[in-house]
Amino acid sequence: MSKPNPTEPVKLVFSIFAKETALLNETIEILSSAYGPPDFISAEMLFDYTNYYCAEMGENLVRRFLSMEKLIRPEALPDIKLATNEIENKSASDSRRQVNIDPGYISKAHLILATGKAYTHRPYLREGIYADLTLVYQGKKFCSLPWTYPDYADEKQLLMLSKIRAKYLLQLKMADQ
């Protein structure tokens, strides 16, 4: 029989993309007000891995990743996804999103993203939210899976996420002392 044990806190991360830098920065401010200050904000980059969002949001989308200083409980992820959906809705114009916010978390073992889309590799959490196992940590690095989105499988993102994970591990170590 396995005995339930409390889980470790996890590192809250966000991917944000929009048509305009100003909207990215405004969204970072909103997320900072809700979840505390970020301890990492990536440089702005083009979001050009897919044209899936172009019809709704336009072309030439820009993106930033951020991780939050405060660690969270993993079971908070559905609430965070529901809250980011509300942020997206508030910024919408003519029923079209102006910003896309993908929350997730990094643990020692993986990167999980929250989504409202069901699929075979996405266990249901609650309230219409699923957990997307996006990356696993094996052999001292993040590894993509057959369903990992190409942007998350990109070497630059894997390296960035590994650095965020290293910061997370340091936070766990400091908390144990």
User: Does 30 map to a domain?
Assistant: yes
pLDDT recorded at residue 129: 97
User: Does 83 map to a domain?
Assistant: yes
| Among candidate residues 22, 167, 151, the one with its CA nearest the CA of residue 91 | 22
pLDDT recorded at residue 34: 97
Say whether pLDDT at 41 is over 90.
yes
Say whether pLDDT at 49 is over 80.
no
Number of domains within the chain: 1
Q: Nearest 5 degrees, angle CA 80-CA 92-CA 51?
A: 85
User: Does 4 map to a domain?
Assistant: no
Q: List pLDDT tens digits, range 73-85.
A: 999 999 999 999 9
In this predicted structure, which of 62-71, 86-95, 107-116, 159-168 has the lowest mean pLDDT? 86-95
More confident residue, 26 or 93: 26
- The residues pairing with 102 across neighbouring beta strands, listed in sequence order, are 15
Phi/psi at 48 (5° precision): -125, 25
User: Does 5 map to a domain?
Assistant: no
CA distance to 4, 34, 113, 154, per residue, from 138 (Å):
24, 32, 18, 16
Q: To the nearest whole number, what is the mean pLDDT of the chain?
A: 93
Whether the CB-CB separation of 109 and 120 falls below 8 Å is answered with: no
Based on C-alpha coordinates, what's the Rg of the chain?
A: 16
Helix axes 21-35, 77-91, angle to 10 degrees: 140
Question: Which helix (H) or strand (E) covers residue 110, if one does?
Answer: strand 110-115
pTM across the whole model: 0.94
User: Does 3 map to a domain?
Assistant: no
Q: Which CATH number do you get for residue 114?
A: 3.30.70
User: Does 1 map to a domain?
Assistant: no
Say whether pLDDT at 100 is over 90.
yes
Q: List pLDDT tens digits, range 124-148.
A: 999 999 999 999 999 999 999 999 9
Say whether pLDDT at 46 is over 90.
no
User: Does 2 map to a domain?
Assistant: no
Domain limits for position 129? 10-176
User: Does 98 map to a domain?
Assistant: yes
